[in-house]
Amino acid sequence: MSDKVVLSYDGKELELPVSTGSMDEKSIDISKLRGATGLITMDPGYKNTGSCESKITFLDGEEGKLLYRGYPIEQIADKSNFEEVMYLLLKGELPTQTELEGFVADIRKNTEVAEELVQMLNAFPEGSHPMGIISALTSALSAFNPEKVNVATEEEMYDAAVTLLGQFPVIAAWSQRKIKGLPLVKSDSSLSYVENFYQMLFNDGSEGYKADPVIVDAFDKLLILHADHEQNCSASTVRLVGSSHAGIFASIAAGISALWGPLHGGANQAVLEMLEAIQNDGGDVAKFIAKAKDKEDPFRLMGFGHRVYKNFDPRARIIKVAADNVLTTLGINDPILDIAKGLEQACLEDDYFKARKLYPNVDFYSGIIYKALEIPTEMFTVMFAVGRLPGWIAQWMEMRQTNQPIGRPRQLYTGAATRDYVEMSAR
């Protein structure tokens, strides 16, 4: 196959080099295009634009394939755990036992949250969305860790990363405690990362609180499945903000805001709200499918479709099984789940959805598990953020370590052409 593309424009020919990735993906390097021809490329939504080279995550939307550092997500979800996955994403290789213990210990050293940060948490008004809270408090970590903001060496970046990995689950769990009006539960360093997060969310204060292992396992899987997804909206935001050399806390806070939107991570909350709306409307799934297909109606079926997966979302397959396990273990029989199953089945058989390759995505099922675990709906996207944190950090580190230039897209200006200023009296 050719290693270049020849572009002809205005009587001139330009050769654009083709690069091949390690999974045989191809890209054209257009960085010299504007200089040589005066042309820029237009690609709103970056549907066809690569923003970087990356060694972290590979996904193939046609094949429904997802690899973390080369390892298939199915194997990772089956055999690994979230602590190991965090290490893998950040460092590039699976850890030895000693390396893993050192990494976990480094995170644990950072779980003490400043009293002033707790005061900030308490200052948020009732009804604040927890995504807003955690984004603000993550950004505020810059003020509490000024020496970890302008980091340059690998050691300094690692130090900033484990600080954030230690602080973030505490902030996230405490935002839920605040919503529920419950006292804050301290971090317990005798527990694993996921068990500890879970107990900070749910410990009712009873002596020797122990979470159900089936639930912890499902939680662990959920976090693993959300841990990275290459250059999605929030990861790209983290990279873009970080490319100006804003610090790690500010960059990740921006990523949290990007994740909040219902077209991205906010979809898990939107899915449940949609299922409840269908239920309150009498449970007629067909009516909502018709709405989603109606081009005059802005309504979309939340939890369906994906920018990259056009066959199936491999995470959705794994999570569907986990959801079934949790519901069976907890003996839950929720009518909302019947609506979800009916909706899924009807869409899989519907020509509109088939033709557009719209399948349930990871967020369609994750909300079902969160609901079964009695996590408040507005906390769903926070759960996603806790899972995605190591991915964001890995993307940020890679961006800094490879000296990616500041992100600054071009535009095609379609506003007024040059004109003279009009004095107020003449307007």
Q: Closest CB to ligand ACO among 130 and 266?
A: 266
**Which of 247, 301, 309, 308 minimizes the C-alpha distance to 278?**
301
Q: How many CB atoms lie within 10 A of CB 281?
A: 10
Catalytic position from the list 306, 334, 338, 420: 306
What is the smallest separation between the CB atom of 313 and ligand ACO, expressed in angstroms? Answer: 8
What is the smallest separation between the CB atom of 284 and ligand ACO, expressed in angstroms? Answer: 17
| Sign of the torsion angle spanned by Cα atoms 264, 47, 242, 401 | positive
Amino acid at 226: H
| Sign of the torsion angle spanned by Cα atoms 63, 65, 69, 75 | negative
What is the smallest separation between the CB atom of 314 and ligand ACO, expressed in angstroms? Answer: 13
Q: Is 159 annotated in the active site?
A: no
Name the residues that contact ligand ACO, by CB under 6 A: 263-265, 267, 292, 300-307, 356, 358, 361-363
What is the smallest separation between the CB atom of 158 and ligand ACO, expressed in angstroms? Answer: 27
**Which of 172, 377, 128, 179 minimizes the C-alpha distance to 187?**
172
Q: Closest CB to ligand ACO among 95 and 303?
A: 303
Q: Closest CB to ligand ACO among 203 and 232?
A: 232
What is the smallest separation between the CB atom of 395 and ligand ACO, expressed in angstroms? Answer: 15
Residue whose beta carbon is closest to ligand ACO: 305
Q: Closest CB to ligand ACO among 198 and 304?
A: 304
Q: Is 363 annotated in the active site?
A: yes
Measure the CA angle with vertex 165, ends 114 and 383; round to 5°: 100
- H/E stretch holding 166: helix 154-179
For residues 178 and 184, what is the distance between their CA atoms, to the nearest angstrom? 8
Q: Closest CB to ligand ACO among 47 and 408?
A: 47
Q: What is the dihedral of CA 226, 228, 234, 237, to 10 degrees?
A: 160
Catalytic residues: 306, 363
